[in-house]
Amino acid sequence: MSQKIERAKVLVIDDQVVILEALRRLLSADDLEIHLHNDSASAVAKARAIAPAVILLDIHMNPINGLDVLRGIRAQPELADVPVVMLSAVEDPETKVEAFKYGANDYVVKLPSPLELNARVRYHANALKAARERAEAYEALLRSQSELEQRNRLIEQINRELAESVLTDTLTGLRNRRFLKLFLDEHTESRRASHERRRAPARTTVFLMDLDHFKQINDRLGHDAGDIALVETAARLRSSVRADDAVLRWGGEEFLIIARYYDLDEPTAAAQRLLEAIGGSPMQLGPHQETVTCSVGYAPFPWVGEKLAQASIEQTLSLADAACYLSKTAGRNRAFGVLPGPDDARAARISGLGISPATLRSEDGRGVRLVESVGPAIGRLDLASTSG
């Protein structure tokens, strides 16, 4: 089977047909495809049509001289890199300089030896081929680089979304339990920075909130209504705290709120706000209107205990949990806070939860008090008389 040789196209432009024919004879070879053109006025259009690998261009032509044709060739983007060998009847340095200035690649005095002419034509044809291959390879590299970058961006986005979804509760859109560690790391870092700047660090309070008799809502109104109540609860909680406070779905119908505070009465006011936010107005659960209340237990974080350099988050959470349990057993729709302050009679109730007030000391070294806040009146009678 014969293999097709790709021949390099050579366009020869000269207004004298005799010279053109002579050059054709000098160049004739199997690996070249020769095109002759003797009209300088249409030479640029011819070059565009042929797309040659090399152009041999006579300098002294009529009606348009070779240098102007050269300028016309260089003005065409697709011909800008095509090697042009100028042909001249005389060896004239000034004309040569002029030709190179206009973008010629070579200069040959007519008629050259066939050996020299063929060597030059092949050299330029190969140089063009190599330069174009390099440019193509470079473009392919850029393309694959940008594809790679695009893919990396996609992977990063997927990773971000995955990380987000791992930290997010799908039903309510709130952060879930896994977010606590991240939040606390940030909290510790911001306290450390405050210490360094000798500013009073923001304190936080941990609120555990549990909806009251939630099982009854599921049982009476259906699981979907229960879901709506959870979503509505999340929205109400979110809008009753600061934007940078954390609201987490702790599990089932239990939520954890970590809120900053600046003066000692703030946590109690915040607990009252939570009770109002949930129980203060009925929720629309599909076709049903239902007042849902909640029980809350809260404690500031961190604590400094007598034996504990700093109570851990787990210990603080169990304090808040114990206080929430106290709210449930005291009739629900209320909040209990374990707060720094002078020990009072109520503090003794903490002992009933298995926590000795004596082991607790707040950051400022004072004692412990138990604070009770009662939720909105709506529905309380019903709840008090219902078990579940």
Could you list the residues that contact ligand GTP (CB under 6 A)? Answer: 171, 210-215, 218, 223, 226-227, 230, 252-253, 328, 332, 388
**Cα-flanking dihedrals φ and ψ of residue 29, to 5°?**
-165, 155
Min dist CB 230 to ligand GTP, Å, is 6
Q: Which is nearer to ligand GTP, 25 or 215 (CB)?
A: 215
Residue least distant from ligand GTP (Cβ): 226
Taking the least distance from each CB to ligand GTP, the nearer of 234 and 271 is 234
Q: Are 324 and 341 in contact (CB under 8 A)?
A: no
User: Least distance to ligand GTP from the beta carbon of 350, Å?
Assistant: 20
Q: What is the 3-state secondary structure (H, E, C) of 82-132?
A: CCEEEEECCCCHHHHHHHHHCCCCEEEECCCCHHHHHHHHHHHHHHHHHHH
Q: How far apart are CA 282 and CA 229, in angstroms?
A: 10
Query: How many whole angstroms separate alpha carbon 234 and alpha carbon 205?
Result: 18
Listed in sequence order, the residues at least 6 apart from 23 whose beta carbon sits closer than 8 Å to its beta carbon are 12, 14, 36, 56, 87, 111, 117
Between 48 and 328, name the residue whose CB sits nearer to ligand GTP: 328
* Three-state secondary structure of 16-50: CHHHHHHHHHHHCCCCEEEEEECCHHHHHHHHHHH
Counts for the chain of helices (H) and strands (E), in that order:
12, 14
Q: Which two tokens stand for residue 383?
A: 């709840």
- Closer by beta carbon to ligand GTP, 113 or else 170: 170
Q: How far apart are CA 252 and CA 209, in angstroms?
A: 11
Q: How far is the CB of 348 from ligand GTP (least distance, A)?
A: 24
Q: How far is the CB of 211 from ligand GTP (least distance, A)?
A: 5
Q: What sign does the CA torsion over 41, 6, 53, 23 have? A: negative
Task: Quote the least distance from Cβ 217 to ligand GTP, whole Å.
Answer: 8
Nearer to ligand GTP, 107 or 250 (CB): 250
**Identity of the residue, 139 or 382, whose beta carbon is nearer to ligand GTP in the bound complex:** 382
**In the complex, least distance from residue 209 CB atom to ligand GTP, rounded to whole angstroms:** 11
Report the first-to-last Cα separation within the chain, whole angstroms: 91
For ligand GTP, which is the closer residue by CB, 105 or 233? 233
Beta carbon of residue 330, minimum distance to ligand GTP (angstroms, whole number): 12
Q: Which residues pair with 336 in a beta bridge?
A: 297, 372
Structural tokens at position 274: 């939570």
For residues 227 and 276, which CB has a smaller minimum distance to ligand GTP in the complex? 227
Whichever of 85 and 383 has its CB closer to ligand GTP, that residue is 383
Nearest approach in angstroms of CB 354 to ligand GTP is: 19
CB of 277 to ligand GTP, least distance (A): 17
Specify whether the CB–CB gap between 55 and 30 falls below 8 A: no
Kindly state the greatest CA–CA separation across the chain.
124
